[in-house]
Amino acid sequence: MSTAKKEYKRVTVKSLVDMKKNGEKISMLTAYDYSMAKIVDAANVDVILVGDSASNVMAGHETTLPITLDQMIYHASSVVRAAKRALIVVDIPFGSYQSDSKEALRSAIRIMKESGGHAVKVEGGVEIKESIKRILNAGIPVMGHLGLTPQSIYKFGTYTVRAKEKHEAEKLKEDAKMLEKAGCFAIVLEKIPAKLAKEVAESVSIPIIGIGAGNGVDGQVLVVHDLLGMTHEFNPRFLRRYLNLYEDMSNAISQYVDDVKSCDFPNDEEQY
């Protein structure tokens, strides 16, 4: 049974703000390809994030840094062809918006024009304020991302919980306010204490979507391959696995190999 309070033909940035106002939690999941996006969209996930986590999940890189703008556009355009209901948000990858605000705008425009995505996401606070403003001025909706920001992993050195110290928590709160004031339509808060995330969610009017940020926020996001248990070496406390697809897929593929080797596949009905 669906717990949605209202049916949305197409979720928009405005729908998300309405959901927050109406106390309806927002569901967000990643997808990077057509087939997965079809399934995610048909399950009524509100927001599909074409995350730069594609760099890890799809391409096998250790970090999100190597993925390029062209590669993000390729993933996003596959998702756009599949999804009929969800709002599609596309990460601007590392190196495509940090150097100056004009470059940031050019990257955002390429994503919107070439992939057909509906909004972009960027990591960081006051440091990238000018870029965010320039993108917003061009009419492109922007989602912020604070807390654990994987594009800065080499600056922090670890993937542990962020903003436990008072000064970092204060900066995060100021950054969230700044993103709201600049005009961002939502903010992802990644891997921060639940109490702090709840405080931020209560202090701004735009939706706060958490990943490892507790239940006091306006919505949740996970990487779909983690939720489905296709990845099995990544086991953070915040992750709930709904399936163990790694095992199920491995068993199915091993069975196929055995069937081919033993001449069981194809059988008489499986040929012309």
Q: For residue 62, give the 3-state DSSP assignment.
A: coil
Q: Which residues pair with 231 in a beta bridge?
A: none
77 is in an annotated binding site: no
Region of 37-45, 50-58, 225-233, 252-260 interacting with ligand KIV (CB under 6 A): 50-58
Which residue in the list 62, 168, 190, 233 is annotated as catalytic?
Answer: 190
Q: Which residues pair with 221 in a beta bridge?
A: 28
Other Cβ atoms less than 10 A from the Cβ of 187: the count is 28
Residue 29 sits at φ, ψ, to 5 deg, of -140, 155
Nearer to ligand KIV, 15 or 151 (CB): 151
91 is in an annotated binding site: yes
Region of 17-25, 51-59, 158-166, 177-185 interacting with ligand KIV (CB under 6 A): 51-59
Q: Scan residues 131-190 and list those touching ligand KIV (CB under 6 A).
A: 188, 190
53 is in an annotated binding site: yes
Q: Which of 132, 223, 228, 230 binds ligand KIV (CB under 6 A)?
A: 223
Site map (CB under 6 A) of ligand KIV, residues 59-98, x = contact:
--------------------------------x-------
Nearer to ligand KIV, 46 or 91 (CB): 91
Helix and strand element counts for the chain (H, E): 11, 8
Q: Which of 186, 211, 217, 228 binds ligand KIV (CB under 6 A)?
A: 211
Are 72 and 64 in contact by the 8 Å Cβ rule? The answer is no
Q: How many residues bind ligand KIV (CB under 6 A)?
A: 11
**H helices present in 153-228, as ranges:** 153-156, 166-182, 194-203, 224-227
Q: Which residue is nearest to ligand KIV (CB)?
A: 51
Residue 74 sits at φ, ψ, to 5 deg, of -60, -50
Based on the residue annotation, tell me whether 190 is a catalytic residue of this protein. yes
Query: Is 119 a residue that touches ligand KIV (CB under 6 A)?
Result: no
Query: Is 228 a residue that touches ligand KIV (CB under 6 A)?
Result: no
Cβ at position 49, least distance to ligand KIV in Å: 6
Are 87 and 79 in contact by the 8 Å Cβ rule? The answer is no
Residue by residue, DSSP assigns 12-44 as -HHHHHHHHHTTPPEEEEE--SHHHHHHHHHTT
Query: Is 53 a residue that touches ligand KIV (CB under 6 A)?
Result: yes
Are 221 and 195 in contact by the 8 Å Cβ rule? The answer is no
Q: Which of 24, 46, 52, 218 binds ligand KIV (CB under 6 A)?
A: 52
Q: For residue 66, give the 3-state DSSP assignment.
A: coil
Are 86 and 61 in contact by the 8 Å Cβ rule? The answer is no
Query: Is 30 a residue that touches ligand KIV (CB under 6 A)?
Result: yes
Which residues are documented as binding site for 3-methyl-2-oxobutanoate?
52-53, 91, 121
The residues assigned a catalytic role are: 190
- Binding site residues, ligand KIV, CB under 6 A: 30, 49, 51-53, 91, 188, 190, 211, 221, 223
